[in-house]
Structure 1
Amino acid sequence: MSAKDFAPRDFAGRTVAQHVDAFTSGKVSARDLVEGVLARVEKAQPFNPIATLDADGARAAADALDARRKRGTGFGKLAGVPVSAKDLILTKGLRTAFASLTMKDNVPKVDASAIAQWREADAVLFAKTTTPEFGHKVLTDSRLHGVTRNPWNQHHTSGGSSGGAAVAVALGLGPIAMSTDGAGSGRIPAACCGIYGLKATLGRVPHEAAPDQFGQLTYLGVMARHPTDLGTGLAAMSRGHRDDPWTNAIGRTPFAWPDNSGEHPIAGKRITVIRRMTGGYLDPDTEARLDAALAFLDKQGARIHEMDGREIDWKLDVARVILRANQIERFGEILKTRRGDLDPSFAKTLDEGNAVDVVALRRALADRTTAYRSVQRLFGDADLLLTPTVATPAPLASQDQFEPLIVDGKPLGDLRAAWYTYTIPFNMTGHPAISIPFGQSRAGLPIGLQFVAPWFGEATLIRLAEAFDTETGASAEFPPGFAAGL
């Protein structure tokens, strides 16, 4: 049968559970759900969230699910749910180009473990989402795929490097998307695009493809419109893998969701607020939303304490040194032989890697431990940390990774120091962190807040996000022209 024989069902705005129930109960076919998402994909083209669309593969997977349902067989917890994955995550039989001209024809022979687990849970993978080349920056553009734009204002960036995943969720292209996060690459675009983005604890999700397992800074994560779907998505990708030692360290026990602890997510919680990591600029609209969040938390019975971020040496350059050393080791040969095919900003990033000497790298590895201990000490007096996710709403789409961030005509410094200092430390320390949408700027751009929990505190963060969503209704908000049912 052809696509025209099926009626697209627009389930945008529905939770994962609602998708699964509609399919398994027979109210809607998996194929109809897929056709509904594909119709939205076409409408979303001006924002450019899709790197590789697999319409035929998604239809075939949906048809197979529909055939199984007729036979009455059981289904996984993501049955019939259309999902996407960032173009850095290996997908068997579906191009994984890493947004690079040097890998534009790469079709993996295996799935990443997390992808395999989503497929085993009967999710329907319909697309790979855009990213900068090899995920090297917090903006999403590449020579291979072009510029990915903010769903609330096309003149602004989606953030990165999981920009396409964030835009896809914001525009209703499936309820969840798989992201990666190396220095905030999942939380930053979540904040820019007004959705929920979770970076789990180191070892919670297998990332067995990374060449340096013991020096891991990058995590596979989940983006969602509804906070509870973060839990469902995480639970379905958290079975350990023998080649990832961090997942072995926690006994390969999958994350369990829903969480039935009965504990109130806010009342009595000790929350340490860090407005500025280093005393730098904080956008007035972002600070106003932070203050509004504090008022909400106080009303809910939280015990709030503010600290000056300058009291902590966050070792912000440590992640850069480790990342650059890893990148030049992995991509040094490409830099030598195919520099002309690389995005200029990626080539410059690799040049920075060439400048890292062994003494600087050894110092960075030791300083990572220092950063971990500093954050651990904070949790001696706190149950949660609260920061802005980024210092300002999304910059212009024309922002250069190596140029200063400009606000009101004034250069504030490079992006790392001026914009996303808040996310970097927790990639080094392994603590779980979430970006929660909390209103918009006067210019109509989303604003995100970051909460950080002790190791394996993902359930606390998700329950907290649910409480915020009840207050804000953020999960029901769509960019203009993309509301549910359109």
Structure 2
Amino acid sequence: MLDLPGIAVARLIRNREISATDVVKETLRRADEVQAHFNAFATIAHDSALFQAQKADEAIRNASPESLPELLGVPFSVKDLLDTEGVRTAYGSRSLEGNVPERDVVAVARMREAGAILIGKTTTSEFASSVLTDSPLSGATRNPWNPELSSGGSSGGAGVVAATGAGPIALSTDGGGSSRIPGAVCGVLGLKATLGAIPHETWPFHFGNNSSVSINSRFPEDLVTAFNIMAGAHHLDPWSRREISPVRAPADAQQAVAGRRALFIPALGGHVVDSEYLAIVKGALEKLEGAGLRVDIAEMDPTEFDPSMAAHMIGCNLAARVRELPVEQQDLLGPILKGLLDENAYKPDGVSLQAEAIERSRAYDRLEHLLENYDFLISATLTAAPPLAEASADSHVVINGKRESIDKWWSHLAIANMTGHPAISIPCGKDANGLPVGLHALAGWDREQDLIDLAAAMSTIESWIDKFPTVQS
């Protein structure tokens, strides 16, 4: 059961070939194993998940299969940054350790309405403040392929859960790469939807938004199912107030990108990629060319994007957010966020903030001009292997044998957050140490279908779906 897509598990449950209770019990057993080895969960909801599974089995006994919800009985997890009714949501912070929301966010509510069963909350860095997952509340989340290394962040728990079979669908968020980074280092898909495609109504920056509800999974078909369930307008998220077309799994994955055009940008954001990682991504693109994808290579970075602008804006958002917390909660913050309470930290003038908004608009314009001629803008997801699990947020990575700032590790990703475009990390191979490598693709607004097609095509060339890291009982 643990190696099947959620949509396949749902069919088995509806047809009474397996019970929802057995599925949830087996998933909880795996979740406990994963937690013991990799620390991927902030909370595992044993009792409520089993109760919901029993209710699902009762519904199945009393209804015809075609009348049942699409994901009835299928386990899913939610990042500890999204509110879940009755299950603690602490944002990875001791300041909210006792916070039990009274209602779900819209995305979670829609998953539950579709019959999916919440098995737990996955780990995050405190208030998603780091591209690594090591919070004062939960500690470090470890890479399932090498526990000495980081799982990435800030949705590290979601990446680990998807990679290890502790549930086929993991909801995450992505404000600067937070679903795509763990996707790449854990060897699974990480889809950041177009801004507002999936409502993100509790994010406090409605009109300066850089964050999207996202999905981590091993299975392209589960990206399809989860996206279609969660996407669509909601009045509390102004960016969501538009019609979203459903996506579908391609009828022929091998031909899914035939005739499409891609621009490969080796040094997006101006930062060099480790030669081994670059070779792996290039090799994947050559295989995709064999499947009919037409690939051009950019000698220079045509986006002219400055990743430091995005990092500064994200830092300003975090500083504003924690400074609004009550003093008694501020006292419980970890060192990264306590540093943002200093009035001299992130204190630009209004003109500088508007200059960043102008640059954000220019980045959008440049991408739109490029996407007039290309279906995909492609790069490596990350520039090198991940750092150690307990590395600090200002740590380093090694690129071509040289120590570099960790800001140069994820510099390809934040442009999609600044412009709102959808983007995905797709596994495309492994390095010499057996660590997964991700290919990153960005598409036009509301063109999630293109990204699904690319993921499906890649899965026929470099299959990661049947490759599990070792989880010992």
Task: Give the TM-score range, shorter chain.
Answer: over 0.9
1:444-464 deviations in whole A, cap 9, x for unaligned?
111001011111111111121
RMSD: 2.0
3-state SS of paired residue (2:465): helix
Alignment correspondent of 1:148: 141
Shift of 1:26: 0.5
Pairing partner for 1:270 from 261, 286, 291: 261
Looking at structure 1, the residues matched to 389 and 314 of structure 2 have their Cα atoms a distance apart, in angstroms, of 24
Partner SS state of residue 138, structure 1: coil
Q: SS of the residue aligned with 1:160?
A: coil
| Structure 2 partner of 1:434 | 424
Partner in structure 1 of residue 70 of structure 2: 77
Q: Which residue of 2 aligns with 1:168?
A: 161
Gap change, CA 1:309 and 1:118, over 3 Å in 2? farther
Q: 2:26 aligns with which of 22, 30, 36?
A: 36
Moved more, 231-240 or 154-163: 231-240
Contact 1:433–1:451 (CA under 8 A) maintained in structure 2: yes
SS of the residue corresponding to residue 21 of structure 1 reads: helix
* Shift of residue 264, structure 1, vs aligned partner: 4.1
1:240 aligns with 2:233: yes
Taking only the aligned residue pairs, the percentage that are identical comes to 37
Q: Would you say the 8 A contact 2:134–2:390 is kept in 1?
A: no
SS at match of 1:180: strand
Whether 1:369 and 2:336 are equivalent positions in the alignment is no
1:189 corresponds in structure 2 to 182
How far apart are residue 240 of structure 1 and its match? Answer: 1.7
For residue 475 of structure 1, give the secondary structure of its aligned residue in structure 2.
Answer: coil
Amino acid of the structure 2 residue aligned with 1:359:
V
Code of the aligned partner of 1:379: L
Sort the Cα spacing of 1:254 and 1:267 in 2 relative to 1 into closer, same or farther, 3 A: closer
Q: Which amino acid aligns with 2:154?
A: S
Note closer, same or farther for the CA distance 1:23–1:338 as it changes in structure 2 (3 Å cut).
Answer: closer
Deviation readout 1:393-435 (Å, 9 max, x if unpaired): 22221322113334576322x222x111110100011111110
Q: 2:448 aligned with 1:458, yes or no? A: yes
Describe the superposition over 1:141-175 as per-residue Cα deviations: whole angstroms up to 9, x where unpaired. Answer: 11110110000000000000000000011110011
How far residue 362 of structure 1 moved from its aligned partner, in angstroms, is: 1.3
Q: Which residue of 2 aligns with 1:397?
A: 389
Measure, in 2, the Cα distance between the counterparts of 1:327 and 1:262. Answer: 41
Aligned twin of 2:437: 447
Relative distance call for 1:373 and 1:196 in structure 2 (3 A) is same
Question: In structure 2, do the counterparts of structure 1 residues 40 and 263 end up closer, same or farther at CA, with 3 Å as the change threshold?
Answer: closer
Unaligned regions of 5+ residues in structure 1, if any? 1-10
Q: Which residue pairs with 1:223 in the alignment?
A: 216
Q: How far off is 1:235 after superposition?
A: 0.7
**SS, match of residue 360 in structure 2:** helix
Inter-partner Cα distance in structure 2 for 1:169 and 1:68: 27
CA 1:309–1:425 in structure 2 vs 1: closer, same or farther (change >3 Å)? farther
Question: What CA deviation, in whole Å up to 9, does each residue of 1:190-242 have, x standing for no partner?
Answer: 00100011011112100111122121100001111111111111111113211
1:334, distance to aligned residue in structure 2 (A): 3.7
Deviations 1:314-341 (CA, angstroms, capped at 9, x unpaired): 1323323332332222210448655542
**Alpha-carbon contact 1:178-1:222 (below 8 Å) kept:** yes
Q: 1:262 to 1:394 in 2, by over 3 A?
A: closer
Q: 1:64 & 1:336 partners in 2: Cα distance?
A: 42
The SS at the match of 1:102 is helix
Aligned residue type for 2:374: A
Matches of 2:204 and 2:345 in 1, distance apart?
A: 16
Structure 1 match to 2:349:
357
Matches within 5 A, 1:281-300: 281-300=272-291
Query: 1:130 is matched with which residue: 123, 148, 163?
Result: 123
For 1:303 and 1:256, locate their aligned partners in 2 and report how far apart those are by CA, in whole Å: 23
Aligned partner of 1:18 in structure 2 is 8
Structure 2 CA distance for partners of 1:336 and 1:403, relative to 1, 3 Å: farther
* Superposition TM-score, scaled by structure 1 size: 0.92
Q: Structure 1 residue aligned with 2:52, among 57, 61, 65? A: 61
| Equivalent residues, number | 469
Residue in structure 2 matched with residue 91 of structure 1 by the alignment: 84
Report the Cα offset of residue 480 of structure 1: 2.0
Is the 1:325–1:361 contact (alpha carbons within 8 Å) kept by the matching residues of 2? no
Cα distance 1:338–1:94, how it changes in 2: closer, same or farther (>3 A)? closer
Letter of the structure 2 residue corresponding to residue 131 of structure 1: T
CA distance in 2, matches of 1:67, 1:436: 38
Instruction: Tell me which amino acid in the other structure corresponds to 1:47.
Output: F
Q: Match for residue 324 of structure 1? A: 315
Aligned to 1:423: 413
Q: What amino acid maps onto 1:213 in structure 2?
A: H
1:30-62 Cα offsets, whole Å, 9 max, x none, are 010000011111211220001011110000100
- Alpha-carbon contact 1:327-1:350 (below 8 Å) kept: no
* Secondary structure class of the residue paired with 1:480: coil
Q: For 1:304, what is the secondary structure of its paired residue?
A: strand
**Which residue is 2:111 aligned to?**
118
SS of 2:268's partner is coil
- Describe the SS at the equivalent of 1:341: coil
Shift of 1:472: 1.5
In the alignment, which of 42, 49, 60 is matched to residue 51 of structure 1? 42
1-structure distance, mates of 2:449, 2:110? 20
Tell me which residue corresponds to 1:210. 203
Deviations 1:224-279 (A, max 9, x none): 1111111111111113211111111x23x463434669994322211100111244
Code of the residue aligned with 1:115 in structure 2: it is V
1:472 to 456, 462, 469: 462
Q: 1:403 to 1:81 in 2, by over 3 A?
A: same
| 2:337 aligned with 1:379 | no
